[in-house]
Amino acid sequence: MNNKAEDPSLWNDAAEAQKLMRERQQLDDGISGLRRFEQQLNDNIELIELGEEEGDSAIVSEAEEALRQLRNDAAKKQVEAMLSGEADQNDTYVEVHSGAGGTESQDWANMLLRMYTRWAERQGYKVELMEIQDGEEAGIKSATLLVKGHNAYGWLKTESGVHRLVRISPYDSNARRHTSFSSIWVYPVVDESIQVDINESDCRIDTYRSSGAGGQHVNTTDSAVRITHMPSGIVVQCQQERSQHKNRAKAWDMLRARLYEAELKKREEAANAEAASKTEIGWGHQIRSYVLQPYQLVKDLRTGVESTSPGDVLDGELSEFMEAALAHRVSGGADAAVDDLS
Protein backbone atom coordinates (compact mmCIF):
# COMPACT_ATOMS: atom_id res chain seq x y z
CA MET A 1 0.00 0.00 0.00
CA ASN A 2 2.90 2.34 0.66
CA ASN A 3 4.17 1.63 -2.85
CA LYS A 4 0.72 2.30 -4.32
CA ALA A 5 0.42 5.54 -2.34
CA GLU A 6 3.65 6.80 -3.90
CA ASP A 7 2.36 6.22 -7.43
CA PRO A 8 1.62 9.68 -8.97
CA SER A 9 -1.19 8.21 -11.11
CA LEU A 10 -3.11 7.11 -7.99
CA TRP A 11 -4.91 10.43 -7.69
CA ASN A 12 -6.32 10.18 -11.19
CA ASP A 13 -9.15 8.40 -9.39
CA ALA A 14 -9.75 10.46 -6.24
CA ALA A 15 -12.32 8.08 -4.73
CA GLU A 16 -10.04 5.06 -5.15
CA ALA A 17 -7.09 7.03 -3.78
CA GLN A 18 -9.00 8.08 -0.67
CA LYS A 19 -10.13 4.50 -0.09
CA LEU A 20 -6.55 3.23 -0.31
CA MET A 21 -5.26 5.95 2.03
CA ARG A 22 -7.95 5.09 4.61
CA GLU A 23 -7.14 1.37 4.45
CA ARG A 24 -3.42 2.08 4.72
CA GLN A 25 -3.93 4.30 7.78
CA GLN A 26 -6.09 1.65 9.47
CA LEU A 27 -3.46 -1.03 8.87
CA ASP A 28 -0.69 1.28 10.05
CA ASP A 29 -2.61 2.10 13.24
CA GLY A 30 -3.23 -1.60 13.90
CA ILE A 31 0.39 -2.65 13.35
CA SER A 32 1.87 0.22 15.37
CA GLY A 33 -0.63 -0.44 18.16
CA LEU A 34 0.38 -4.11 18.35
CA ARG A 35 4.08 -3.22 18.41
CA ARG A 36 3.42 -0.67 21.17
CA PHE A 37 1.66 -3.35 23.24
CA GLU A 38 4.59 -5.73 22.77
CA GLN A 39 7.12 -3.08 23.79
CA GLN A 40 5.16 -2.05 26.89
CA LEU A 41 4.72 -5.69 27.89
CA ASN A 42 8.45 -6.43 27.60
CA ASP A 43 9.46 -3.18 29.34
CA ASN A 44 7.25 -3.83 32.36
CA ILE A 45 8.31 -7.47 32.67
CA GLU A 46 11.92 -6.27 32.77
CA LEU A 47 11.01 -3.67 35.41
CA ILE A 48 9.40 -6.34 37.60
CA GLU A 49 12.49 -8.56 37.29
CA LEU A 50 14.73 -5.60 38.11
CA GLY A 51 12.61 -4.56 41.08
CA GLU A 52 12.60 -8.09 42.50
CA GLU A 53 16.38 -8.37 42.13
CA GLU A 54 16.90 -5.06 43.97
CA GLY A 55 14.09 -5.58 46.46
CA ASP A 56 12.29 -2.43 45.29
CA SER A 57 8.58 -3.17 45.83
CA ALA A 58 7.52 0.27 44.54
CA ILE A 59 8.91 -0.46 41.07
CA VAL A 60 7.24 -3.89 41.06
CA SER A 61 3.86 -2.42 42.05
CA GLU A 62 4.08 0.32 39.44
CA ALA A 63 4.95 -2.16 36.67
CA GLU A 64 2.15 -4.52 37.74
CA GLU A 65 -0.37 -1.68 37.60
CA ALA A 66 0.90 -0.78 34.11
CA LEU A 67 0.37 -4.41 33.04
CA ARG A 68 -3.19 -4.39 34.38
CA GLN A 69 -3.92 -1.25 32.34
CA LEU A 70 -2.27 -2.85 29.32
CA ARG A 71 -4.55 -5.86 29.72
CA ASN A 72 -7.61 -3.58 29.73
CA ASP A 73 -6.37 -1.76 26.62
CA ALA A 74 -5.73 -5.08 24.89
CA ALA A 75 -9.27 -6.25 25.70
CA LYS A 76 -10.67 -3.14 24.02
CA LYS A 77 -8.50 -3.76 20.96
CA GLN A 78 -9.75 -7.33 20.91
CA VAL A 79 -13.30 -6.02 20.72
CA GLU A 80 -12.35 -3.65 17.90
CA ALA A 81 -10.93 -6.63 16.04
CA MET A 82 -14.44 -8.09 16.09
CA LEU A 83 -15.62 -5.15 13.98
CA SER A 84 -14.83 -6.88 10.72
CA GLY A 85 -18.33 -7.07 9.27
CA GLU A 86 -19.13 -5.90 5.78
CA ALA A 87 -20.31 -2.45 6.92
CA ASP A 88 -18.84 -2.17 10.43
CA GLN A 89 -16.46 0.64 9.44
CA ASN A 90 -19.24 2.79 7.98
CA ASP A 91 -21.08 5.78 9.42
CA THR A 92 -24.49 4.88 10.81
CA TYR A 93 -28.04 6.05 11.35
CA VAL A 94 -29.66 5.66 14.77
CA GLU A 95 -33.47 5.83 14.92
CA VAL A 96 -35.31 6.37 18.21
CA HIS A 97 -39.04 5.56 18.46
CA SER A 98 -41.25 5.98 21.52
CA GLY A 99 -43.51 3.08 22.44
CA ALA A 100 -47.05 3.04 23.76
CA GLY A 101 -47.61 5.20 26.79
CA GLY A 102 -47.85 8.74 25.52
CA THR A 103 -45.82 11.38 27.35
CA GLU A 104 -43.94 8.86 29.51
CA SER A 105 -42.54 6.94 26.56
CA GLN A 106 -41.92 10.10 24.56
CA ASP A 107 -39.85 11.54 27.40
CA TRP A 108 -37.94 8.24 27.61
CA ALA A 109 -37.27 8.37 23.86
CA ASN A 110 -35.81 11.85 24.32
CA MET A 111 -33.56 10.56 27.12
CA LEU A 112 -32.28 7.80 24.81
CA LEU A 113 -31.65 10.34 22.04
CA ARG A 114 -29.48 12.33 24.43
CA MET A 115 -27.72 9.17 25.69
CA TYR A 116 -26.58 8.10 22.22
CA THR A 117 -25.62 11.65 21.29
CA ARG A 118 -23.44 11.89 24.41
CA TRP A 119 -21.86 8.47 23.75
CA ALA A 120 -21.00 9.42 20.16
CA GLU A 121 -19.50 12.76 21.19
CA ARG A 122 -17.35 11.01 23.81
CA GLN A 123 -15.96 8.75 21.06
CA GLY A 124 -15.08 11.79 18.94
CA TYR A 125 -17.81 11.05 16.38
CA LYS A 126 -19.69 13.78 14.55
CA VAL A 127 -23.46 13.72 15.16
CA GLU A 128 -26.18 15.20 12.94
CA LEU A 129 -29.91 15.26 13.71
CA MET A 130 -31.64 14.16 10.51
CA GLU A 131 -35.26 14.43 11.69
CA ILE A 132 -37.28 14.74 14.86
CA GLN A 133 -40.98 14.48 15.66
CA ASP A 134 -41.82 16.23 18.93
CA GLY A 135 -44.22 14.74 21.48
CA GLU A 136 -47.51 16.42 22.27
CA GLU A 137 -46.56 17.54 25.79
CA ALA A 138 -42.91 16.58 26.23
CA GLY A 139 -40.20 14.42 24.71
CA ILE A 140 -40.23 13.06 21.17
CA LYS A 141 -42.20 10.56 19.13
CA SER A 142 -39.21 9.73 16.93
CA ALA A 143 -35.83 11.01 15.81
CA THR A 144 -32.99 9.95 13.53
CA LEU A 145 -29.30 10.63 14.20
CA LEU A 146 -26.47 10.35 11.68
CA VAL A 147 -23.29 9.30 13.49
CA LYS A 148 -20.11 9.83 11.45
CA GLY A 149 -16.81 8.18 12.30
CA HIS A 150 -14.69 5.06 11.85
CA ASN A 151 -16.50 1.90 13.05
CA ALA A 152 -19.62 3.88 14.04
CA TYR A 153 -21.96 1.16 12.75
CA GLY A 154 -19.82 -1.64 14.16
CA TRP A 155 -20.04 -0.21 17.67
CA LEU A 156 -23.70 0.77 17.60
CA LYS A 157 -25.23 -2.17 15.71
CA THR A 158 -25.87 -4.21 18.86
CA GLU A 159 -28.00 -1.38 20.32
CA SER A 160 -30.99 -2.18 18.09
CA GLY A 161 -33.94 -3.34 20.16
CA VAL A 162 -36.39 -2.28 22.85
CA HIS A 163 -35.16 -0.35 25.90
CA ARG A 164 -37.24 -0.35 29.11
CA LEU A 165 -37.31 2.36 31.79
CA VAL A 166 -38.71 2.05 35.32
CA ARG A 167 -38.97 5.26 37.38
CA ILE A 168 -41.15 7.54 39.46
CA SER A 169 -42.91 9.57 36.79
CA PRO A 170 -42.23 13.32 36.82
CA TYR A 171 -45.58 13.68 35.02
CA ASP A 172 -47.65 11.84 37.64
CA SER A 173 -48.97 14.07 40.43
CA ASN A 174 -49.33 10.97 42.62
CA ALA A 175 -45.62 10.10 42.18
CA ARG A 176 -46.37 6.54 41.06
CA ARG A 177 -43.82 4.25 39.44
CA HIS A 178 -44.15 3.90 35.66
CA THR A 179 -42.65 1.53 33.08
CA SER A 180 -41.91 2.99 29.64
CA PHE A 181 -40.60 1.48 26.40
CA SER A 182 -38.77 2.95 23.42
CA SER A 183 -36.97 1.25 20.55
CA ILE A 184 -33.63 1.86 18.87
CA TRP A 185 -32.97 0.88 15.28
CA VAL A 186 -29.41 1.10 13.89
CA TYR A 187 -28.44 0.75 10.22
CA PRO A 188 -25.25 1.60 8.28
CA VAL A 189 -24.74 4.42 5.82
CA VAL A 190 -24.34 3.00 2.33
CA ASP A 191 -21.10 4.24 0.78
CA GLU A 192 -20.02 4.34 -2.85
CA SER A 193 -18.76 0.74 -2.74
CA ILE A 194 -22.25 -0.65 -2.06
CA GLN A 195 -24.88 -0.77 -4.78
CA VAL A 196 -28.54 -0.82 -3.71
CA ASP A 197 -31.16 -0.71 -6.47
CA ILE A 198 -34.62 0.64 -5.63
CA ASN A 199 -37.63 0.65 -7.94
CA GLU A 200 -39.07 4.14 -7.45
CA SER A 201 -42.53 2.90 -8.40
CA ASP A 202 -42.43 0.84 -5.17
CA CYS A 203 -42.12 4.01 -3.11
CA ARG A 204 -44.54 6.68 -1.92
CA ILE A 205 -43.11 10.15 -1.30
CA ASP A 206 -44.85 12.60 1.05
CA THR A 207 -43.87 16.13 2.03
CA TYR A 208 -44.82 17.91 5.23
CA ARG A 209 -43.83 20.82 7.41
CA SER A 210 -40.94 20.42 9.79
CA SER A 211 -42.08 20.19 13.41
CA GLY A 212 -38.81 21.18 15.03
CA ALA A 213 -36.90 24.42 15.37
CA GLY A 214 -34.83 25.50 12.43
CA GLY A 215 -35.86 28.90 11.22
CA GLN A 216 -38.92 30.48 9.67
CA HIS A 217 -38.44 28.93 6.24
CA VAL A 218 -38.23 25.36 7.58
CA ASN A 219 -41.36 25.68 9.67
CA THR A 220 -43.61 27.41 7.12
CA THR A 221 -42.97 25.31 4.00
CA ASP A 222 -43.39 21.61 3.16
CA SER A 223 -39.63 21.03 3.19
CA ALA A 224 -39.58 17.75 5.14
CA VAL A 225 -39.71 14.51 3.13
CA ARG A 226 -41.03 11.05 4.02
CA ILE A 227 -40.44 8.01 1.78
CA THR A 228 -42.36 4.76 2.27
CA HIS A 229 -40.98 1.61 0.62
CA MET A 230 -44.20 -0.32 0.19
CA PRO A 231 -42.84 -3.87 -0.39
CA SER A 232 -40.89 -3.83 2.89
CA GLY A 233 -42.95 -1.32 4.87
CA ILE A 234 -39.78 0.67 5.66
CA VAL A 235 -40.38 4.38 6.26
CA VAL A 236 -37.64 7.04 6.37
CA GLN A 237 -37.94 10.77 6.77
CA CYS A 238 -35.63 13.79 6.72
CA GLN A 239 -36.18 17.40 7.73
CA GLN A 240 -32.58 18.44 8.38
CA GLU A 241 -32.24 20.82 5.41
CA ARG A 242 -34.19 23.92 4.47
CA SER A 243 -34.42 22.63 0.91
CA GLN A 244 -36.98 19.95 0.06
CA HIS A 245 -34.67 18.79 -2.73
CA LYS A 246 -31.80 18.19 -0.29
CA ASN A 247 -34.07 16.46 2.20
CA ARG A 248 -35.36 14.20 -0.57
CA ALA A 249 -31.82 13.22 -1.57
CA LYS A 250 -30.89 12.42 2.03
CA ALA A 251 -34.10 10.45 2.53
CA TRP A 252 -33.21 8.29 -0.50
CA ASP A 253 -29.77 7.69 1.06
CA MET A 254 -31.45 6.65 4.31
CA LEU A 255 -33.80 4.28 2.48
CA ARG A 256 -30.90 2.63 0.65
CA ALA A 257 -29.18 2.22 4.01
CA ARG A 258 -32.26 0.65 5.61
CA LEU A 259 -32.72 -1.81 2.74
CA TYR A 260 -29.02 -2.70 2.88
CA GLU A 261 -29.22 -3.25 6.64
CA ALA A 262 -32.25 -5.50 6.13
CA GLU A 263 -30.20 -7.60 3.69
CA LEU A 264 -27.27 -7.79 6.16
CA LYS A 265 -29.62 -8.97 8.89
CA LYS A 266 -31.14 -11.57 6.58
CA ARG A 267 -27.66 -12.98 5.91
CA GLU A 268 -26.83 -13.00 9.62
CA GLU A 269 -30.05 -14.81 10.45
CA ALA A 270 -29.26 -17.44 7.85
CA ALA A 271 -25.73 -17.89 9.19
CA ASN A 272 -26.74 -18.04 12.85
CA ALA A 273 -30.09 -19.81 12.29
CA GLU A 274 -31.81 -17.40 14.65
CA ALA A 275 -34.49 -14.75 14.26
CA ALA A 276 -33.45 -11.19 14.96
CA SER A 277 -36.13 -8.99 13.47
CA LYS A 278 -37.76 -5.77 14.52
CA THR A 279 -40.42 -6.50 17.10
CA GLU A 280 -43.23 -4.94 19.09
CA ILE A 281 -42.16 -2.12 21.41
CA GLY A 282 -43.24 -3.65 24.71
CA TRP A 283 -42.85 -6.44 27.24
CA GLY A 284 -40.88 -9.52 26.28
CA HIS A 285 -38.76 -7.91 23.55
CA GLN A 286 -36.44 -5.59 25.46
CA ILE A 287 -32.65 -5.88 25.27
CA ARG A 288 -31.84 -3.62 28.22
CA SER A 289 -33.61 -2.46 31.37
CA TYR A 290 -32.95 0.88 33.11
CA VAL A 291 -34.33 1.01 36.66
CA LEU A 292 -34.22 4.35 38.50
CA GLN A 293 -36.78 3.47 41.20
CA PRO A 294 -37.03 1.71 43.66
CA TYR A 295 -33.31 0.89 43.16
CA GLN A 296 -30.59 1.95 40.70
CA LEU A 297 -29.65 -0.60 38.05
CA VAL A 298 -29.06 -0.90 34.32
CA LYS A 299 -28.98 -4.50 33.09
CA ASP A 300 -28.41 -5.88 29.60
CA LEU A 301 -30.73 -8.85 29.26
CA ARG A 302 -28.60 -10.52 26.56
CA THR A 303 -25.20 -10.50 28.27
CA GLY A 304 -26.02 -9.98 31.96
CA VAL A 305 -23.74 -6.92 32.17
CA GLU A 306 -24.95 -4.53 34.89
CA SER A 307 -24.29 -1.00 36.13
CA THR A 308 -25.47 0.47 39.42
CA SER A 309 -24.91 4.00 38.06
CA PRO A 310 -27.78 4.59 35.61
CA GLY A 311 -27.05 8.32 35.64
CA ASP A 312 -23.62 7.66 34.11
CA VAL A 313 -25.08 5.24 31.55
CA LEU A 314 -27.75 7.76 30.52
CA ASP A 315 -24.94 10.31 30.17
CA GLY A 316 -23.29 8.14 27.52
CA GLU A 317 -21.16 5.57 29.35
CA LEU A 318 -22.23 2.65 27.15
CA SER A 319 -18.96 1.13 25.98
CA GLU A 320 -18.96 -1.72 28.53
CA PHE A 321 -22.41 -2.82 27.35
CA MET A 322 -21.39 -2.56 23.69
CA GLU A 323 -18.17 -4.54 24.19
CA ALA A 324 -20.00 -7.38 25.92
CA ALA A 325 -22.77 -7.42 23.30
CA LEU A 326 -20.22 -7.60 20.49
CA ALA A 327 -18.39 -10.47 22.20
CA HIS A 328 -21.72 -12.24 22.76
CA ARG A 329 -22.66 -11.76 19.13
CA VAL A 330 -19.36 -13.02 17.74
CA SER A 331 -19.10 -15.99 20.11
CA GLY A 332 -22.70 -17.02 19.68
CA GLY A 333 -23.37 -16.25 23.33
CA ALA A 334 -20.38 -17.96 24.92
CA ASP A 335 -20.18 -16.81 28.54
CA ALA A 336 -16.41 -17.07 28.52
CA ALA A 337 -16.03 -14.29 25.97
CA VAL A 338 -18.12 -11.93 28.06
CA ASP A 339 -16.25 -12.85 31.23
CA ASP A 340 -12.90 -12.18 29.54
CA LEU A 341 -13.98 -8.68 28.56
CA SER A 342 -15.63 -7.79 31.86
Tens place of pLDDT for every residue, the chain, 342 residues? 888 888 888 888 887 888 888 888 878 888 898 899 999 999 999 999 999 999 999 999 999 999 999 998 888 778 777 787 778 888 999 999 998 778 899 999 999 999 999 999 999 999 999 989 998 888 999 999 999 998 899 999 999 999 999 998 887 777 788 899 999 999 888 866 667 778 888 899 888 877 654 444 445 567 889 999 988 888 998 987 888 888 888 898 888 888 888 887 776 665 554 334 444 565 556 899 999 988 999 999 999 999 999 999 999 999 999 989 988 877 654 343 334 333
CA angle 212-99-301, nearest 5°?
125
84 phi and psi angles, rounded to 5 deg: -120, 15
Residue 95: beta bridge partners?
144, 185
**Buried b / exposed e along 151-160 (16+ C-beta atoms within 10 A):** bbbbbbbbbb
Cis peptide before 310 (omega within 30 of 0): no
Q: Cα separations (Å) of 54 from 43, 48, 50, 96?
A: 17, 10, 6, 59
In a 3-state reduction of DSSP, which class is residue 213? coil
196 phi and psi angles, rounded to 5 deg: -125, 115
Query: What is residue 315's DSSP assignment?
Result: T
pLDDT attached to residue 17? 86
pLDDT attached to residue 153? 93
- Cβ(105)–Cβ(179) below 8 Å: no
Q: For residue 321, which of 116, 140, 70 has the smallest C-alpha distance?
A: 116
pLDDT attached to residue 275? 37
Domain spanning 92-194+263-341: CATH 3.90.800.10: no
Q: What is the CA radius of gyration of the chain?
A: 23
DSSP-derived pairing of the beta strands 297-300 and 306-307: antiparallel
pLDDT attached to residue 10? 86
E strand or H helix at 205: strand 203-208
d(CA 78, CA 63): 22
CA angle 75-80-86, nearest 5°?
150
d(CA 37, CA 48): 17
pLDDT attached to residue 212? 55
Decide: residue 161, CB within 10 A, 0-12 exposed, 13-18 middle, 19+ buried. buried
Q: Where are the beta strands (DSSP E) in 261-329?
A: 286-291, 297-300, 306-307
d(CA 151, CA 32): 19
d(CA 150, CA 91): 7
Q: Where are the beta strands (DSSP E) in 68-125?
A: 92-98
- Cβ(107)–Cβ(174) below 8 Å: no
pLDDT attached to residue 45? 95
d(CA 181, CA 100): 7
Alpha carbons within 13 A on the beta-carbon side of 240: 19
CA angle 149-239-137, nearest 5°?
105
In the chain, domain spans: 2-81, 92-194+263-341
Query: What is residue 145's DSSP assignment?
Result: E
